[in-house]
Structure formats: C-alpha cells, structure tokens
C-alpha cells in the first residue's frame, strides 16, 4: 500500500480535526463549509478505497453504527453529584458566607469560576491515551448508561485529544453538558411537523431524547453539541491548581468549553455576572436556566468537601422559572395584520418567566391538534424573555370530563370574510385583505412607512388615533383627510395638521414598485415589488397576470405567485386600489426592456458582506432588473464581486481569481448610471 496515500489520509484527518477544533472550540472557523465538505469527501473516498486504513478515531466514523438492544451500565469512578440551588440574591450571599466561614476567611473575597448553566443532559467522557474510550450519562450519580456509540456521533466531542501526548493524562474523565442549540431545535421540530411527527417540548428534552437513542444513526442525524465544565477521575498527570486553568487546558486539548466562562471575585461580581447573563439569555444560541459558581482554587474545593450529594464549593443560581402549570379557560382567535388567524389560550393567571401570564399563543390549528389542547385542560406554559408565551403541551391525565375541543371558525370573527387556508400552509387567514378592520391599523402603518408611500408625519400613534376616532377606515381614506379634522385631534396643532396634509399630498406621486410594496401583499417585499414593476411595467398587466406568467419573473416562486393572484382576485382589494387612484395616487409607466437589451445582460455578480444603504435582497433585485445574473459563489465566470462590510472568504477567492471587486459606492454608481424612472 502506498505510503503517499497513508500520509494523505493522515493529513486530511489532521486538517479536519483542526477545523473542528477551530469551529466548535475556538468559534473561529478558518474555511467555508464547502471547503470542509471537500476535505471530508476526499477522506471518505480514500478510506472507501483503502478500508484497512480506517481507524476508530477517523472523523468519518461519526455516522453511527447498528442499533443497540439496550444500554449497558457504567459506574462512575467518582460520583457525578448534583448542585445546590439558589433562587435569589440573599441565597447567593448565604452560600458565599458559608464558604468563607468554613474556610475561616471571613474578611477575604473568594475567587469563583462562573459560567452559564446549560439546560441539557450531564455526561461523562473518558479518554484513554488521548482517545475517546467511554461515554456515560449521569444517571443516578453513581451509575449511568453507556452512550459511547452515540457520543461518538457528536461533532463537537473530539475522538482524540490535541496537543503534546506527554502532557495529556493516560486516563482523563471529562464532564459536561450535551445540549441542542436553539436553531437546531427549531429545524428538528419544523421537520417533524412537516412529516406529521410528534415535536419536542423544548431543547433539553430534544437533547436527552436524541442522546438516548438505541440507534446511534438517529443520534448522528440530530444537531447535538457539548460544553465541558470540569473533570472527574484523572490518572498520571497533575492538573493546574485553579478550576479556570483546568478549563483552559481542556480547551487546548480540543474539548469545547463555554465561551461565557469568567473568573469573578467576591459576591458583588457574582451578582453582576448573573444579571449580565440573564440579560443576554435570550440572545445566546442555546438554552440556559441559570449560572454556576465554583470556588476556583482546587485546594479550597478539597477543604470545603461535600454535604449529602452536593459539593459545598459550587452553587447553581437559577433564573426565574420559564415553564409553569395552569388551566385553559378558553381559546379565542386573534386576527393579525396579514390576516393570519391565531388561536390564543386564555389562561388562569400564572407567574412565569418573571411576569404574570394570562394569555398564550397556540400558533395555528395544527398545533392545537398536535398538542391536543382543549378548553378546560391543565397545560404547561412557557415564556422566554420577550417572546410571546406559548402553550408547550397539555396534560390529558388531568383533563376534566367537560373539556371542549377547539374549532377553527370558517368566517373571520372581525369582518365576516371567508377564512382560507392555502394548500401546504399551516396558517388560516382572513380573505378580507385591505377591507378587514382587524388588519386596518397595521395595513395603514405599513402603507405609510418610509419604504412604502413614505408619508411624512404619519406615525404609529397617530394612525391608532385616526382609526380609533373613526376618521379613516381604509388606506384610501388617508387622502380624504383635511387640516381642520386633524387639528382637532389631541396633541395635534394647526401647523402639524397642515404639515401632515402636505405629506399625504406629496405621497400621491410615487413609483409602481413602492405602491405595490405598500399594498401589503403577502410575501411581496421591496425586492419582489421592484421585480414585478421591472418585468410587468404596469398595475394593469400585473392584475391580469396568472401564476404561470408570474413564475417567469426572477425569484418569484409558486407560493408568492399564488398570494399575488389571490390578492387581486378579491374585489374589495381592487375597490380600495381604484379609490386610491381616484384620490390622485399615481406613478409613471415603467419601460419594460427585453432581457437581452438590459445594460447588465451577460454579466454575473456575487454579493458578500453587509451593505448599509440597502439589503442584499434589494441589491440582487436591482441587479437582476438590469439584466445581471446574481449567483452565490465566486468563479472565473464572475464579472464583479460586490463586497460590503465583513466580506468573508469570497473576497479572498475573488482576489485570487482576479475578479473585479466593487464596494458599496461602486454598486450604487452602477444603479445611478442605469436608473430607470418609475421603478
């Protein structure tokens, strides 16, 4: 067997392990996903051709093996203990006082190692001679389940440790938390809904269920990750004297540790850390339910010892509960700006997530059925930060005999219009469009917004006031307002009234693209409105277009096409549009230019980085309107790379291929040069 092939396989393994380390441990990826995939494919092909060179620690061996009949049992060399909890500042201060008293350090401030408390599943990993040999759940603290095959499928868990083998202990037990990132949890549940399968209640349940699969291939398909928070049994090498330094050493060896960890001194810094992490909680990519403090000095830990089943030197400082039990009093329907009908559970009031909750969303009819929520049920309610409270699940075992099933109405409870549910969609909607009063305020606010009709002086609060006073019932009524009416409103003087009337009058002269966006047609944003204007040229042509014609327009798929056709098929929507035109709302005709005559025909653009004056979607729409092809990757056929802030690897590739690079000013210069009136 060629030594060259052996060397190449080992080089690929080392490269992939390095990229895993930089991605999962340092959070500093060096290469794009496509390059990582290329390396992995090459390694898989070489190993398939030379199976004798496959090793258990190869990155290709994470895919999962045959299903187990049951889990074996593993006894932990050192018990995996639970932590005592604190729920307020006073209990935190009591913990610190007890630590100082037991250590006879009453006046000194203790240095703690602090990190977020992940809401996942505690596990133990054992490395022998630097290679992953065993993984187990916490279990009852003394005995856990053997999940070695499943743990091997989790990409953030290294199969072999990095660095100098002389420094790595012959036996190293690492302890940590396996969790499911929020984004992965949402994808998993979305996929389950699409297949009509049961969804998980929260990321913790999803992580626990995924890790305890008898079929490791199922675990391999789930988006699991791990952070290490300490060590257990260690042989052959003395670790550092500080817990925080141990975590740093684990990171050097390729084990992921929390990037939010911090050394804090004294109770004041502990409390500040708690408040900071609590503020950032909803923006972290994973679920946490508090923070953990550990005395940083390991000798002090040994002196403090244990009480019952918990160490005296550590504390879990919990956040307010985000899930509680309550009862569903009724299920009502809310109608949103786009006409979406949302079932809302009216609840017996319950304190959850730091506030009193009386209402919780049920999302849509399918979710009500899937969660089997009935009026009268006892349910689990969840609230996280500013997110609207939701019903997680019902408890059928507590269901009263008089519980009633929910029935979705066939008519809008606000305007009486027919309720429609498009094929393949979970949400039912009122077909009232611009006519439904439940959608009135939001449709007017959207119509008047800066990127739509840009009516200067018409803010959200004034729209609320105008609707509440009965002065406007649809967007067309805006153009019937006069200064005397407006001046009589609260906090609205004569000058302000005149300025608003002038702003309304000025908005009458607009562009077709702005007008189409202002109508609030479902999924027709600025970029799509621009494409419709460029390709069809007039409102009349758009009204007459069928779904097949709309499909021919770049970036307009069947769903958006159906929304557009449905909107213009509603007579009351056309009535409002005609009323607007009678009030003087107008725009110049748009010249429709054949594709081959467009100024950028035959040129290919790639967009990267963040643009300040417009979004990437808007830039793409404008480039396509000028005839350009917009792709996602740089190649020799690329004409221009448009690089905004933080451009990433595409810029380096463009420079290597000598592709011309434009900054945002250069892109806007192209748009100014080829600007067409009326768009």
C-alpha torsion angle, residues 375, 377, 383, 389 (rounded to 10): -10
Q: Are 563 and 521 in contact (CB under 8 A)?
A: yes
Q: From its phi and psi, is residue 254 left (phi > 0), alpha (psi between -120 and 50) or beta?
A: left
75-91 as b/e, with b when 16 or more CB fall inside 10 Å?
ebeeebbebbebeeeee
- Is 318 marked active-site? no
Number of DSSP helices (H) and strands (E) in the chain, helices first = 24, 24
How far is the C-alpha of 347 from the C-alpha of 605, rounded, in Å?
53
Q: Which CATH architecture has domain 85-318?
A: 2-Layer Sandwich (3.30)
Q: Name the residue with tokens 């000095």.
A: 297
Q: Name the residue with tokens 């008519």.
A: 411
How far is the C-alpha of 266 from the C-alpha of 96, rounded, in Å?
8
Sequence spans of domains, the chain: 3-62, 85-318, 323-398, 432-591, 595-673
What six digits make up the tokens of 631?
């792709």
C-alpha torsion angle, residues 592, 597, 598, 600 (rounded to 10): 170
Catalytic member of 69, 117, 445, 636 = 117
The per-residue pLDDT for 678 is: 47
What six digits make up the tokens of 664?
């945002």
The per-residue pLDDT for 258 is: 96
How far is the C-alpha of 589 from the C-alpha of 570, rounded, in Å?
24
What six digits make up the tokens of 287?
């679920």
Q: Tell me how long the chain is.
A: 679
C-alpha torsion angle, residues 595, 601, 604, 610 (rounded to 10): -80
The per-residue pLDDT for 386 is: 55
How far is the C-alpha of 650 from the C-alpha of 310, rounded, in Å?
51
Q: Name the residue with tokens 């290329």.
A: 38
Sign of the four-CA dihedral 327, 333, 335, 341: positive
How far is the C-alpha of 615 from the C-alpha of 117, rounded, in Å?
37
Task: Estimate the crossing angle of helix 89-102 against helix 266-280, to 10 degrees.
Answer: 140
How far is the C-alpha of 185 from the C-alpha of 178, rounded, in Å?
13
Q: Could you say which residues of the chain have pLDDT below 50?
A: 1, 64-65, 678
How far is the C-alpha of 370 from the C-alpha of 197, rounded, in Å?
9
| Superfamily name and number for 432-591 | 5' to 3' exonuclease, C-terminal subdomain (1.10.150.20)
Question: Concatenated DSSP letters for 594-617?
Answer: PGGGSTTTT-EEEEESB-SSS-HH
The per-residue pLDDT for 342 is: 93
The per-residue pLDDT for 476 is: 92
Q: Which CATH architecture has domain 3-62?
A: Orthogonal Bundle (1.10)
CATH number of 595-673: 3.40.50.10190
Question: For the chain, what is the largest distance between any 2 Cα atoms, rounded to a whole number of angstroms?
Answer: 93
Q: Which CB contacts under 8 angstroms, 24+ apart, belong to 1-9?
A: 1/50, 1/52, 1/53, 5/46, 5/50, 5/53, 6/53, 8/46, 9/43, 9/46, 9/47, 9/50, 9/53
450-468 as b/e, with b when 16 or more CB fall inside 10 Å?
eebbebebbeeebbebbbe
223-246 as b/e, with b when 16 or more CB fall inside 10 Å?
bbbbbbbbbbebeeeeeeebbbeb
The listed CATH number (2.40.50.140, 2.60.40.10, 2.60.40.1180, 1.10.645.10) that belongs to domain 323-398: 2.40.50.140
How far is the C-alpha of 144 from the C-alpha of 142, rounded, in Å?
7
Half-sphere exposure of 33 (CA within 13 A, CB side): 1
Q: Which CB contacts under 8 angstroms, 24+ apart, belong to 592-598?
A: 592/534, 592/535, 592/536, 592/537, 593/627, 593/676, 595/627, 596/627, 597/627, 598/625, 598/626, 598/627
Non-local CB neighbours of 279 within 8 Å, separated by 6+ positions = none
How far is the C-alpha of 110 from the C-alpha of 295, rounded, in Å?
7
Beta 660-662 vs 640-643: how paired, if at all?
parallel
Cα 341 from chain centroid? 23
Q: What's the whole-model pTM score?
A: 0.52
Q: Are 209 and 200 in contact (CB under 8 A)?
A: yes
The per-residue pLDDT for 347 is: 95
Task: Estimate the crossing angle of helix 571-582 against helix 558-569, to 10 degrees.
Answer: 70
What six digits make up the tokens of 275?
């408040």
How far is the C-alpha of 167 from the C-alpha of 88, rounded, in Å?
41
Question: Concatenated DSSP letters for 437-475?
Answer: GGGHHHHHHHHHSTTTT--TT--HHHHHHHHHTTS-SSG
Q: How many other C-beta atoms are found inside a 10 Å radius of the C-beta of residue 29?
A: 15
Residue 40: exposure state from Cβ atoms within 10 A (0-12, 13-18, ≥19): middle
How far is the C-alpha of 201 from the C-alpha of 209, rounded, in Å?
11
């Amino acid at each position: 067997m060629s030594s060259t092939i052996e060397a190449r396989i080992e080089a690929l393994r080392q490269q992939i392990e390095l990229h895993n380390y930089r991605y999962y441990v340092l959070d500093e990826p060096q290469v794009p996903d496509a390059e990582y995939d290329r390396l992995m494919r090459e390694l898989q092909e070489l190993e398939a051709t030379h199976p004798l060179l496959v090793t258990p620690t190869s990155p290709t061996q994470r895919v999962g093996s045959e299903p187990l009949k049951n889990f074996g049992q593993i006894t932990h060399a050192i018990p995996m203990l639970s932590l005592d909890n604190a729920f307020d500042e006073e209990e935190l201060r009591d913990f610190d006082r007890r630590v100082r008293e037991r250590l006879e350090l009453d006046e000194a401030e203790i240095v703690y190692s602090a990190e977020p408390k992940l809401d996942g599943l505690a596990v133990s990993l054992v490395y022998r001679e630097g290679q992953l040999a065993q993984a187990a759940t916490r279990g009852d603290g003394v005995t856990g389940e053997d999940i070695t095959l499943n743990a091997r499928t989790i990409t953030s868990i290294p199969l072999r440790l990095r660095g100098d083998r002389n420094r790595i202990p012959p036996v190293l037990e690492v302890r940590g938390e396996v969790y499911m990132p929020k984004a992965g949890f949402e994808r998993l549940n979305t996929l389950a809904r699409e297949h009509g399968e049961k969804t998980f209640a929260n990321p913790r349940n999803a992580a626990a269920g995924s890790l305890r699969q008898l079929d490791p291939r199922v675990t391999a398909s789930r988006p699991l990750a791990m952070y290490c928070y300490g060590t257990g049994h260690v042989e052959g090498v003395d670790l550092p004297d500080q817990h925080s330094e141990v975590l740093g050493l684990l990171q050097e060896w390729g084990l992921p540790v929390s990037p939010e960890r911090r050394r804090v001194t004294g109770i004041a810094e502990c409390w500040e850390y708690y408040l900071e992490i609590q503020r950032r909680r909803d923006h972290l990519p994973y679920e946490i339910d508090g923070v953990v403090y550990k005395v940083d000095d390991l000798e002090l830990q040994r002196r403090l010892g244990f009480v019952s089943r918990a160490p005296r030197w550590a504390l879990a400082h919990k956040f307010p509960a985000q899930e509680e039990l309550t009862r569903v009093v009724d299920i009502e329907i809310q109608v949103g700006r786009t006409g979406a009908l949302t079932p809302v559970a009216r609840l017996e009031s319950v304190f959850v997530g730091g506030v009193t909750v009386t209402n919780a969303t049920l999302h849509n009819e399918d979710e009500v059925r899937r969660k089997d929520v009935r009026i009268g049920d006892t349910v689990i309610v969840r609230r996280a930060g500013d997110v609207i409270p939701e019903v997680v699940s019902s408890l059928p075992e507590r269901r009263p005999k008089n519980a009633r099933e929910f029935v979705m109405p066939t008519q809008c409870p606000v305007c009486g219009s027919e309720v429609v549910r498009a094929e393949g969609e979970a949400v039912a909607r009122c077909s009232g469009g611009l006519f439904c009063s439940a959608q009135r305020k939001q449709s007017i606010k959207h119509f008047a917004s800066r990127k739509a009709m840009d009516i200067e002086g018409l803010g959200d609060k004034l729209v609320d006031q105008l609707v509440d006073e009965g002065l406007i019932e649809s967007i067309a009524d805006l153009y019937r307002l006069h200064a005397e009416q407006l001046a009589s409103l609260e906090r609205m003087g004569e000058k302000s009234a005149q300025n608003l009337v002038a702003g309304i009058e000025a908005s009458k002269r607009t562009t077709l693209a702005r007008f189409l966006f202002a109508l609030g047609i479902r999924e027709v944003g600025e970029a799509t409105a621009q494409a419709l204007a460029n390709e069809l040229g007039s409102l009349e042509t758009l009204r007459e277009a069928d779904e097949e014609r709309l499909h021919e327009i770049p970036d307009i798929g069947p769903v958006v096409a159906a929304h557009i056709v449905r909107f213009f098929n509603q007579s009351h929507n056309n009535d409002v549009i005609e009323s607007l035109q009678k009030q003087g709302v107008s725009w110049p005709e748009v010249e429709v230019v054949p594709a081959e005559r467009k100024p950028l025909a035959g040129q290919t653009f790639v967009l990267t980085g963040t643009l300040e004056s417009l979004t990437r979607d808007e830039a793409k729409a404008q480039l396509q309107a000028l005839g350009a092809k917009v792709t996602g990757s740089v190649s020799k056929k690329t004409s221009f790379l448009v690089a905004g802030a933080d451009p990433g690897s595409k810029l380096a590739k463009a420079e290597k291929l000598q592709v011309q690079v434009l900054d945002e000013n250069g892109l806007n210069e192209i748009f100014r040069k080829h600007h067409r009136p009326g768009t």
